[in-house]
Amino acid sequence: MTKNSELTANKGFDIGEQQIELLEKLCNATAVSGDEHEVRQIVLAEIKSFADEIEVDALGNVLAKRFGSGENRVRVMLAAHMDEIGFMIVKKHDDNLFQFERVGGIDERQLPGKAVLVGRDHLAGVIGAKPIHMTTADERMKKIPVDALRIDLGPEIGDKVKPGDRATFATRFKLHGPSILAKALDDRFGVSMLIELLKHPPANIDLLTAFTVQEEVGLRGARVAAYKFNPDMAIAVDSTPAYDLPHWDEEDENVQYNTHLDAGPAIYVMDRATIADRRLVNLFTRAAEAEGIPYQYRQPGGGGTDAGVIHKTRAGIPSISVSVPSRYAHSAIGLARIEDWENTLRLLHAALSRVTPDLLAGERRG
Amino acid sequence: MKSIIKQLVETPGPSGFEHEIRDVIRDAVADSADEVRVDALGSLIARKGTKTEEGLRVMISAHIDEIGLMVTHVDENGFLRFTNIGGINPLTCYGGRVLFMDGTRGVIGMDSIERGKTPKLTDLFIDVGATDKDNCPVGVGDVCGFERPFLDLGKRMVAKSMDDRIAAAIAIEVLKRLESTPHEIHFVFSTQEEVGLRGATTAAYGVDPDLGFAIDVTRSGDTPRFSPKMATALGDGPAIKVRDSSFIADPRLVKWMIKTAEESGIPYQLEVLEAGGTDGRAIQLTRGGAPAGCVSIACRYIHSPSEMVDSDDVENAVELLVKLLSEPIILD
């Protein structure tokens, strides 16, 4: 592992106070799929003096370009999604108890007893749970369906909450030694890195950044963003689960971890939605090795990123994904390492700096 | 045709890793195509003919990828855990042999599972003969396909990847035999069909066809106690698809195919496939939409390492396709 203090190669790509402050702001904002307003405002404010062109498209994606200099620049799309998983209020009941639905993939077993923030005013509420005093042994063995749960907002809210309002887990961003604890690291990590790259772009390429919407409900924003950009190649920048906890049974090696914390950026070879173009897998691998940046291949298999729709756009776009590993994804709180985030940003810059027209001149071979 | 079929089915090419099979196809179409190109997702597109006043731009899609496996983990003792590329049935894996793209070979073993239980993919591993992690020649992300030689049973032929190399063989043969056509025909040898019609999706956008169809295998309902009910049988002729679970063939195309077969005395059967999809969907839904259909070859034991088709069906499919493409297309 390379230590933070040794990172001097890429000036401007250290994670410092400024970057952490921005990530905190991004993670604490509410942007459940379909209502990405808060994060979009933060993004627009951050990039307005750096991007050459900025547009908010029909679905709410922020599309920002920064042009390089020199001849034959490859047009590279980077996508990071602004939206996060969360809840939508569907019905008001007596006593300001609200029925809700999940938006995106959330395990319903994790809901009872969690604090939430509802609507753009971030009204404090709680997903109620029956006290253990009142439950039977039998009840405690069963999961509670979402239909039977309510968000309790109390008498203070008046008519402020309506069906259609979004809610998120109320988790606030925290640093703890080398770790970050926050909600929505999926994909505020990606959003933060795209902002950094717009501020310090590699000069050899045209950087086409898409801060996308509605990824968690089916990669919807990225589809139209890729159509509009029509890039030469694309990289989805995301966060992926690390299921790297030790096994208690020592005989049994953990073979399904997806990724490990502290092992650097996760380079995708294949997920359910995309088979990465090997030319790009090699680009990232070689860049990591040349710069001494730790990296890991994400275990091929399930999951999907914005690359899943981008690579199928128009006549086809060579694509790959790169993610920051994070534990406890899609729960109330994720845990990740500052160093993995920093190394992902460094790797992105290192790989982008090595993009030349030759990279894509030949045929895809794997 | 059997020698090209043998060559096609014995070349590895799991979805996303079609470069070797594409090279084989490039050689096979070199003399008969007017133009050959490869798109961003690796599909090879061979054009034949130029569009005349009574002609159309036609896309024909035969996918060149096959199901395969990708390594997810190398354990301390050099055993490889893997995930599926496309629809792999764990039942047909155990004891199978695999060939990696770099030439490494291996066999598939299985954890001890309860007697009588069906294995899951996670119960299986690949053994490439390594004695520990450090001397294992393959790593996470490396890809292999099943390895089985082509088996010529005379009228019937057996191989891994008959799905869909038999269609590639048919398309190559049609390209050769087609003497004149009023159409501009794009024979697409598409990639990544088994993981969701991905190659045909981008190829269709690039070709922008007036009309198109896929050539693919379909299930054959003629084996003992076959369920669900399926009317198709080996040897009853090429199957004209009415629908599958990915798209409904344009009824005008179905009618045109039936009419052509009947007028030419070519045997055919009709196909309704309740579970399964083909590149026809990708053609139908491209851009503003295009009339699309599919000509199928009935096939037994699909997605196993021993897929069986009938030689006469293959020959009749070639004849039908040559007839279909030699004349102006009138849809009504």
Is residue B61 domain-shared with residue B88, that is, in the same domain?
Answer: no
CATH number for B195 = 3.40.630.10
Is B201 in the same domain as B187? yes
In a domain, B154, yes or no: no
B179 tagged catalytic: no
pLDDT at A7: 43
Shared domain for A78 and A92, answered yes or no, is no
One domain, residues B290 and B168: yes
A258 and A324, same domain (yes or no): yes
**Chain A residues closer than 8 Å to B73 by CB:** 255-256, 299
Number of domains in chain B: 2
Give A-chain residues touching B41 at CB under 8 angstroms: 311-312, 316, 364
Same domain, yes or no, for A60 and A196? yes
Which of B81, B83, B82, B85 lies closest to B66 in space, CA to CA? Answer: B85
> In chain B, count of helices (H) and strands (E)?
7, 17
Nearby residues of B1 by Cβ (< 8 Å), 6 or more positions away = B169, B173, B314, B315, B318
Same domain membership, residue B166 and residue B192: yes
Question: In sequence order, what DSSP letters do the residues of B153-213 get, joined into one string?
Answer: ETTEEEETTHHHHHHHHHHHHHHHH----SSEEEEEEES--TTTSHHHHHHHHHH--SEEE
> Tell me, what's the pLDDT at A250?
61
Confirm or reject contact between B206 and chain A (CB < 8 A). Answer: yes
Residue A365 lies in a domain: no
List, in sequence order, every beta strand (DSSP E) within chain B.
35-38, 44-48, 57-63, 68-74, 79-85, 97-100, 105-110, 124-127, 143-146, 151-153, 156-159, 184-190, 211-219, 239-243, 269-272, 292-299, 307-310
- The verdict on residue A45 lying in a domain is yes
Same domain, A155 and A218: no
Structural domain for A197, as ranges:
4-84+183-360
**Are B198 and A269 in contact (CB < 8 Å)?**
no
Predicted confidence (pLDDT) per residue in A253-293, tens digit: 889 999 999 999 999 999 999 999 999 999 999 999 999 99
Give yes or no: residues A12 and A153 share one domain. Answer: no
**Distance (Å) from the C-alpha of residue A177 to the closest C-alpha of chain B?**
30
User: Is the CB of residue A326 less than 8 Å from the CB of residue A241?
Assistant: yes
Contact A275 B19 (CB under 8 A): no
Residues B75 and B62 placed together within one structural domain of the fold: no
Whether A177 is covered by a domain: the verdict is no
**CA–CA gap between residue A164 and residue A170 (Å, rounded):** 18
Structural domain includes residue A176: no
- Annotated catalytic residue, options B18, B66, B193, B319: B193
Q: Which of A169, A192, A208 is the last residue of a domain?
A: A169
Residues 6+ apart with CB under 8 A from A122: A30
Domains: count for chain A = 2
Compute CA distances B176 → A340, B32, B211, B215, whole Å.
55, 5, 21, 16
User: Last residue of a domain, which of A111, A145, A169?
Assistant: A169
Single out the residue in A109, A143, A169 at which a domain terminates.
A169
Q: Which of B96, B121, B146 is the last residue of a domain?
A: B146
The pLDDT of residue A12 is: 52
β-sheet bridge partners, residue B292 = B212
Residue B190 and residue B319 in one domain? yes
Specify the residue for token string 């290192």.
A350
Q: Looking at the structure, do residues B205 and B274 belong to the same domain, yes or no?
A: yes
Position A130 in a domain: yes
ipTM: 0.94
The tokens for B151 are 């088996």
pTM: 0.95
Helix (H, G, I), strand (E, B) or coil at A130: coil
CATH number, domain containing residue A296: 3.40.630.10
* Of the candidates A260, A256, A245, the residue with the CA atom closest to the CA atom of residue A339: A260
SS3 A156: helix
In terms of domains, do A229 and A333 share one?
yes
> Quick one: A327 and A193 in the same domain?
yes
- What CATH number corresponds to the domain at position A115? 2.40.30.40
- A270, A275, A317: residue with CB nearest B40: A317
A99 and A223 fall within a common domain = no
For chain A, the straight-line distance linking the first and the last C-alpha, in angstroms and rounded, comes to 30
Residue B24 lies in a domain: yes
| Domain extent at residue B276 | 2-66+160-326
- Tell me the sheet residues that pair with B219: B299
My answer on whether B11 and B131 are in the same domain is: no
CATH number of domain containing B102: 2.40.30.40
pLDDT in tens, chain B (332 residues): 999 999 999 999 999 999 999 999 999 999 999 999 999 999 999 999 999 999 999 999 999 999 999 999 999 999 999 999 999 999 999 999 999 999 999 999 999 988 889 999 999 999 999 999 999 999 999 999 999 999 999 999 999 999 999 999 999 999 999 999 999 999 999 999 999 999 999 999 999 999 999 999 999 999 999 877 899 999 999 999 999 999 999 999 999 999 999 999 999 999 999 999 999 999 999 999 999 999 999 999 999 999 999 999 999 999 999 999 999 999 98
Low-confidence ranges of chain A (pLDDT < 70): 1-12, 248-251
